[in-house]
Amino acid sequence: MKKLTRIGNHIGRQVVSAILAIILVAYPLRSFAHPSEQGFVLLLPTDFYIATGIATVALTAAALARLPTTTITFLFSNRTFVGLRHHSWMPTLSSFCSTLVLVVLILIGLSGSGDPLSNPLSLVIWTVWWTALLFLQGILGDLWKWINPWTGIYDLCIGSNANTPLKLPDRLGNSVGLCGLILFFAFTLADPAPDYPPRLALVTALYWMATFIGMCLFGRDPWLSRCECFTMLFRLFALISGIRTTKGTCHVGFPGWQIVTSRKSSFSVFALTALAAGSFDGMNETFWWLSQIGVNPLEFPGRSAVIGQTIGGMIGAIILLHCLFALCIATGQYLVRKHTGGPLPISFSLAFGRLALSVLPIALGYHFAHYLPAFLVNSQYLVAATNDPLTRGADLFGLGVFYVTTGFFYTQDTVRVILLTQCVAIVIGHMIAVLTAHLIALGLYGTNRQAILSQIPMAVFMILYTLLSLWLLAAPRGA
Partner 1 sequence: MSQFTKNYVLPTRRNALKLLSGGGLALAASSTMPGVTRFAQAQSSEPIRIGFQIHRTGIGAAYGRWYDRTTQAAVKRMNDAGGINGRMVEIIAEDDGTDPKRGAEVVEKFATQQQCDVAFGTLFSHVVIGSAPRAGELKIPYFVVSEGHHVASGILNRYTLQPGITDVKSQVEAMAPFVSTNLGKKVAMIYPDFAFGHDHRDYFTAALAKNGGEVIAQIAIPPTETSFTKYFPKIPQQTEVLYHVMVGPAVLTFVKELGEFFGSNHPEIFGFIDSLEAVDIQSPGLEFLEGTYFWEGNPRYVQNNQTSHDKMYRTAVGVDESGASVSDSRDISTYAHMFGCWETLNIIKAGMEMSDYQGPQHRSRLIEAVEDMTDIPLSDDHPQGAKIFNGKTHQVFGHQYISKVENGRMVLAHTTSIEDTFYPDETDYTTQPF
Q: Are 454 and 447 a contacting pair, CB within 8 Å?
A: no
Q: Are 145 and 151 a contacting pair, CB within 8 Å?
A: yes
Judged by CB under 8 A, which stretch of 38-46, 175-183, 224-232, 329-337 contacts partner 1? 38-46
Question: Using CB under 8 A, which residues numbered 413 to 432 contact partner 1?
Answer: 414
Question: Using CB under 8 A, which residues numbered 76 to 135 contact partner 1?
Answer: 113-118
Q: Are 286 and 469 a contacting pair, CB within 8 Å?
A: no
Query: Which long-range contacts link 342-347 to residues 24+ away (Cβ below 8 Å)?
Result: 345/444, 345/445, 345/446, 345/450, 346/444, 346/445
Examine residue 34 and tell whether it contacts partner 1 (CB under 8 A).
yes
Examine residue 302 and tell whether it contacts partner 1 (CB under 8 A).
yes
Please identify, using beta-carbon distances, which residue of 150 and 409 lies nearer to partner 1: 409
Q: Which of 412, 420, 421, 464 binds partner 1 (CB under 8 A)?
A: 412
Question: Using CB under 8 A, which residues numbered 379 to 398 contact partner 1?
Answer: 391
How far apart (Å, rounded) are the C-alpha atoms in residues 267 and 233?
Answer: 9
Q: Which of 136, 305, 424, 456 binds partner 1 (CB under 8 A)?
A: 305
Q: Which of 254, 334, 410, 471 binds partner 1 (CB under 8 A)?
A: 410
Q: How far is the CB of 299 from partner 1 (least distance, A)?
A: 6
Q: Which of 71, 246, 291, 347 binds partner 1 (CB under 8 A)?
A: 291
- Residue type for position 53: G
Examine residue 137 and tell whether it contacts partner 1 (CB under 8 A).
no
Q: Please give the helix or strand (H or E) that residue 241 lies within, else none.
A: none
Judged by CB under 8 A, which stretch of 73-81, 216-224, 286-294, 442-450 contacts partner 1? 286-294
Question: Using CB under 8 A, which residues numbered 191 to 220 contact partner 1?
Answer: 192-193, 195-196
DSSP 127-189: IIIIIIIHHHHHHH---HHHH-SSHHHHHHHT-TT---S----GGGTTHHHHHHHHHHHHHHH
Q: Could you tell me where the beta strands, DSSP code E, fall in 212-287?
A: 243-246, 249-252
Examine residue 303 and tell whether it contacts partner 1 (CB under 8 A).
yes
Q: Identify which of 155, 177, 279, 283 has the alpha carbon closest to the alpha carbon of residue 222.
A: 177
Q: Which of 14, 31, 249, 349 binds partner 1 (CB under 8 A)?
A: 31
3-state secondary structure of 263: coil
Examine residue 43 and tell whether it contacts partner 1 (CB under 8 A).
yes
- Residue type for position 283: M
CB neighbour class for 416 (10 Å; exposed up to 12, middle 13-18, buried from 19):
middle
Examine residue 142 and tell whether it contacts partner 1 (CB under 8 A).
no
Q: Which of 298, 319, 323, 417 binds partner 1 (CB under 8 A)?
A: 298
How far apart (Å, rounded) are the C-alpha atoms in residues 374 and 371?
Answer: 5
Examine residue 14 and tell whether it contacts partner 1 (CB under 8 A).
no
3-state secondary structure of 250: strand
The 255-274 contact track toward partner 1, x by CB under 8 A, reads --------------------
Residues that bind partner 1 (CB under 8 A): 16, 20, 23-24, 27-36, 38-43, 113-118, 192-193, 195-196, 287, 290-291, 296-305, 391, 401, 403-408, 410-412, 414, 476-479
